[in-house]
């Protein structure tokens, strides 16, 4: 049963600009270390940073909480299976929030171009 859906779209230039202005300070606030390493492995990391930003916004929308007291940036992580398929790892308050709401699975899809990044999350429970 689907209990939540979230979607987000962001301009890559917006994230690129913030990274250029605030650098590691911004990245360490929004992304977990493994996410930063993954994105920085690309010649043009901004679309990958933007996709992960969009994913975290979409996750928070699927929960209906937004990003704040109940769910913070560091409570969510985007990882990839060997096949390339992205998936969500929840930490701390994210794990607790999912458990308090009956558990389930967060399904994630990402897409990005030179100019835009988007993410869709579907939260289902058995």
Nearest-angstrom CA–CA distance, 32 and 76: 8
Tokens (6 digits) for 32: 């977990």
- The full DSSP string for 55-110 is HHHHHHHHHT--SSSSS-GGGEEEEE-TTS-EEEEE-THHHHHHHHTT--EEEEEE
Range of the domain at 31: 2-124
- Active-site residue identified among 61, 81, 91, 107: 61
Note if 56 is an active site residue: no
Q: Which residue has the tokens 């399904």?
A: 107
Domain tally for the chain?
1
Nearest-angstrom CA–CA distance, 30 and 27: 5
Residue 64's nearest CA partner among 125, 1, 121, 117 is 121
Tens-digit pLDDT profile for the chain (126 aa)?
A: 999 999 999 999 999 999 999 999 999 999 999 999 999 999 999 999 999 999 999 999 999 999 999 999 999 999 999 999 999 999 999 999 999 999 999 999 999 999 999 999 999 998
Note if 91 is an active site residue: no
pTM above 0.95, yes or no: yes
CATH number at residue 59: 3.90.470.20
């Amino acid at each position: 049963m689907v209990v939540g859906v979230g979607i987000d779209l962001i301009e890559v230039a917006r994230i690129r600009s913030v990274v250029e202005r605030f650098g590691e300070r911004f990245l360490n606030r929004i992304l977990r270390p493994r996410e930063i390493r993954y994105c920085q492995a690309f010649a043009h990391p901004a679309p990958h940073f933007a996709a992960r930003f969009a994913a975290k916004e979409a996750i928070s929308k699927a929960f209906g909480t937004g990003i704040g007291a109940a769910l913070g940036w560091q409570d969510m992580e985007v990882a990839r299976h060997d096949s390339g398929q992205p998936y969500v790892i929840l930490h701390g308050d994210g794990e607790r929030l999912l458990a308090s709401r009956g558990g389930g699975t967060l399904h994630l899809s990402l897409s990005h171009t030179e100019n835009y990044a988007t993410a869709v999350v579907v939260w289902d429970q058995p």
